Structure 1
């Protein structure tokens, strides 16, 4: 008796292994990355209030960065803010006061911009892995936002010192003018993100399907 086998029935072959391999980014991931990059661009135009004498306006930009990380997690949050910076670098007017181009990355705000993706990654990591099951509680997300804000402000201080030639004491003094606003923004982000995670409890458990 001759037995025949259907080659497509073998689920252990290399083709099956390839098909079952987790995708790094699904179409949903890509859509979320693009949407939050756009949200950050819109936020950079909102409430651009000059603060201090360093030419660094107070906007909702940092709130969008924190929200992106808190909602999307470390990987997608980092990619979304990285995409936002890339759009500005190639010439789209997505930065505060409708600015763009490479010159922005050498200006007084450069230190803040460079650490935006890192801040999104930090808050995303803390919310996903440290806060974990308590991510529906705004207090815990707020604490994660504070840590990310410290990272962002340290980058800003380095930028002020390097670009404007200020001493460290003066750089910290200039940066201090933005802390109250960013703390308030962090609190608002925490409330919003907690509600998002309450409504979509599996948002950070990224799907492996397209």
Structure 2
């Protein structure tokens, strides 16, 4: 229990701290840019709930089937989660591509400036192309947690955060606010790849 809980707590804590640091990077760009960024952060949080829920559902499913010595069911569950992630990613992309301005207006309202809407729209549409990376990352992380393989899970999520923070801190002040979000999909993808390699190496077999 301790070995599973501590990495999860560390992961959540460092992500929260990381997001505070990223917001500090955005602040110098002005209140309107911050408003646009914050609006899309809320949208990202809404869509991420779908993928987080899938990942959280996978974990106990994997644990139960691991205890029952049914590794094939674990694989089927993982594949089903990936299919769901793909489906919801496509839906998210379509919704964002067609309604990004209207979605931004829910948070920015009539008082939002052109800059706020531009930042929100650019950030949101960029994420829309890559939600699939978040989805498969969450599903794979869920399997790792279910199997109790926590060290690679923690490392993968730290690499994800490190990519996002380093690009934002180094490039955004020099080249523009877009670099705050350009690295987000790269972080998700790196997280998935590390988790997937760890999963392949530790995949349970029939005893």
**Global fold match (TM > 0.5):** no
Using CA pairs under 8 Å that are at least 6 residues apart, name the structure with larger relative contact order, 1 or 2: 2
Q: TM-score, normalised by structure 2?
A: 0.37
Higher helix fraction (1 or 2): 2
